[in-house]
């Protein structure tokens, strides 16, 4: 598998060539654009002219198109994968009698941004994008938290979501100015309650994505051992999680730390079957309990997923029939209804068995698998380009670069013990020799 990955990698770009500079600029523009374009459209909606959902779609198409231009090269893998996926989706659309372009877009983001990272193969660029993304997110997060009234004068988040049709006046209780509807918890804040009810959203405009982005930044810092910038990313990631009051983000970061020593020994087969075991177990729970949902916590979200799964018919599960069931609160159910069971299996298998040039890449890849597995239980937000652009660029980058080996703390302690033992042997021999001469 590693040999196949190496064979599919072209020679490195000449860093001094104009083409290399242009490609890097395109990568920076698409990743940072994916991160912040909603903030820009919110500004335009607040200060200049109303925005519609069509404007969002056009902006996303421009960002994905830019990334595609950077990703395109002589490798056949990108074109083959996209050809098979689009053909499969066209077949589903024909069977359903309805098209769903958002489902196609959901997969274009990971495939194209992954291909872009694997083409550029620039670990320093990925580091720089992580740092500058974190700086941008923190700047607007502090602006929102400390100067909320001024922030809303320039970025009327609620008005933007109403304008593009995501939120109705009924859902906002008639309000047309303010934060997103999840920007404040009705119950006390979970993380550092003295910070108040305000859940900060920053450039993402809603707090869930900010918490998810914190997990991605935290994982990159965990992975980049030996790089001095990782300590800033640790601090930035935890700040994002705290300001957004992201319970999911905090729990996921803790779990990633606990699992980090075991990523090399967990077989890929385990990761392959895990989401489908979750599907089966949660669906069985739903049928047995007859649940119709629950509170806004982990157990409640599992109950919501269980209820949704029990409402899906077999044709919907197989992907040959469309459904009007609301599935955005369950990534498992959403993925199942968009791509069908066999499409879900194929896409997940492609992720798990993705080839790598260097064994260390599997560490970061495993962290992202853990993140995806957990978030699929509670939300479909992992498909968002706001967090997905940088994440998939990082995954593509680490899959194609030669990553320097970093010794673990246990290896360093063992080497130190061996060195001390080696120094003790000559000392003992000198003592014996001195005794013999005497």
Question: What is the model's pLDDT at position 436?
Answer: 54
d(CA 252, CA 270): 19
Whether residue 415 lies inside any domain: the answer is no
What digits encode the pLDDT tens for the residues 149-204? 999 999 999 999 999 998 988 888 889 999 999 898 777 888 999 999 999 999 99
Whether residue 184 lies inside any domain: the answer is yes
Whether residue 187 lies inside any domain: the answer is yes
Question: What is the model's pLDDT at position 36?
Answer: 96
Whether residue 436 lies inside any domain: the answer is no
Whether the full predicted model's pTM is greater than 0.85, yes or no, is yes
Question: What is the model's pLDDT at position 6?
Answer: 37
Whether residue 209 lies inside any domain: the answer is yes
Check if the beta carbon of residue 395 is closer than 8 Å to that of residue 364: yes
What digits encode the pLDDT tens for the residues 292-304? 777 766 677 788 8
pLDDT score of 286 more than 50:
yes
Check if the beta carbon of residue 130 is closer than 8 Å to that of residue 223: no
Check if the beta carbon of residue 81 is closer than 8 Å to that of residue 89: no
Question: What is the model's pLDDT at position 220?
Answer: 98
Question: What is the model's pLDDT at position 5?
Answer: 38
Its domain, for residue 87, covers: 2-403
- DSSP secondary structure letter of residue 184: B
Question: What is the model's pLDDT at position 410?
Answer: 53
d(CA 20, CA 23): 5
The band of 4, judged by pLDDT with boundaries at 50, 70 and 90, is very low
pLDDT score of 264 more than 50:
yes
Three-state secondary structure call for residue 198: strand
Q: At what angle do helices 53-71 and 385-400 cross, to 10 degrees?
A: 10
pLDDT score of 3 more than 50:
no
Check if the beta carbon of residue 145 is closer than 8 Å to that of residue 97: no
Q: Who has greater pLDDT, 173 or 145?
A: 145
Q: Which residue has the tokens 């200049």?
A: 48
Q: How many CA atoms lie within 13 A of 329 on its CB side?
A: 18
Spell out the alpha helix ranges (H) of 8-122: 18-47, 53-71, 77-96, 101-120
Three-state secondary structure call for residue 178: coil
Whether residue 147 lies inside any domain: the answer is yes
Whether residue 170 lies inside any domain: the answer is yes
What is the pLDDT averaged over residues 9-22?
Answer: 68
pLDDT score of 18 more than 80:
no
Check if the beta carbon of residue 340 is closer than 8 Å to that of residue 319: yes
Check if the beta carbon of residue 141 is closer than 8 Å to that of residue 240: yes
CA distances in angstroms from 175 to 51, 300, 301, listed in the order given? 18, 28, 27
Angle at 80 between CA 385 and CA 267, to 5 degrees: 70
Counting the structural domains of the chain, the total is 1
**Proportion of the chain above pLDDT 70, given as a percent:** 89
d(CA 129, CA 18): 20
Whether residue 309 lies inside any domain: the answer is yes
Angle at 349 between CA 126 and CA 322, to 5 degrees: 105
What is the pLDDT averaged over residues 397-411?
Answer: 75
Check if the beta carbon of residue 105 is closer than 8 Å to that of residue 389: no
């Amino acid at each position: 598998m590693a040999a196949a990955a190496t064979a599919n990698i072209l020679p490195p770009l000449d860093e001094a060539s104009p083409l290399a500079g242009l490609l890097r600029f395109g990568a920076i523009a698409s990743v940072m654009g994916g991160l912040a374009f909603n903030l820009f459209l919110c500004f335009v909606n607040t200060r200049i002219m109303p925005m519609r959902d069509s404007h969002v779609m056009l902006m996303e198409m421009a960002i994905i198109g830019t990334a595609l231009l950077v990703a395109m090269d002589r490798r056949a893998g990108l074109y083959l994968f996209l050809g098979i996926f689009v053909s499969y989706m066209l077949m589903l659309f024909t069977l359903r009698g309805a098209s769903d372009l958002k489902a196609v877009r959901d997969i274009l983001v990971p495939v194209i941004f992954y291909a872009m990272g694997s083409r550029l193969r620039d670990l320093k660029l990925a580091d720089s994008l992580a740092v500058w993304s974190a700086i941008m997110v923190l700047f607007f997060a502090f602006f929102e938290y400390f100067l909320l009234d001024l922030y809303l004068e320039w970025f009327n988040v609620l008005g933007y979501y109403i304008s593009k049709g995501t939120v109705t006046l009924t859902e906002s209780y008639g309000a047309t100015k303010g934060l997103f509807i999840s920007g404040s918890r009705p119950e006390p804040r979970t993380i550092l309650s003295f910070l108040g009810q305000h859940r900060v959203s920053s450039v993402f405009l809603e707090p869930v994505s900010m918490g998810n982005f914190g997990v991605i930044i935290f994982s990159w810092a965990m992975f980049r051992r030996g790089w001095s910038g990782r300590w800033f990313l640790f601090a930035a990631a935890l700040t994002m999680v705290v300001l957004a009051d992201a319970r999911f983000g905090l729990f996921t970061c803790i779990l990633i730390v606990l699992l980090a020593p075991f990523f090399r020994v967990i077989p890929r087969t385990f990761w392959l079957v895990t989401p489908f075991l979750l599907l089966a177990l949660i669906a069985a729970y739903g049928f047995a309990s007859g649940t119709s949902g629950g509170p806004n916590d982990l157990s409640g979200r599992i109950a919501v997923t269980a209820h949704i799964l029990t409402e899906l018919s077999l044709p919907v599960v197989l992907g040959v029939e469309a459904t009007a069931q609301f599935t955005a609160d369950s990534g498992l159910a959403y993925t199942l209804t968009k791509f069908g069971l066999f499409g879900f299996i194929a896409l997940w298998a492609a992720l798990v068995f993705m080839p790598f040039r260097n064994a260390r890449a599997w560490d970061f890849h495993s962290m992202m698998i853990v993140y995806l597995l957990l978030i699929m239980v509670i939300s479909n937000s992992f498909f968002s380009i706001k967090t997905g652009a940088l994440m998939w660029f990082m995954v593509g980058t680490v899959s194609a670069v030669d990553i320097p080996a970093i010794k673990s703390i246990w290896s360093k302690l063992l080497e130190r013990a061996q060195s001390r033992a080696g120094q003790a042997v000559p000392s003992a021999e000198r003592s014996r020799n001195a005794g013999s001469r005497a």
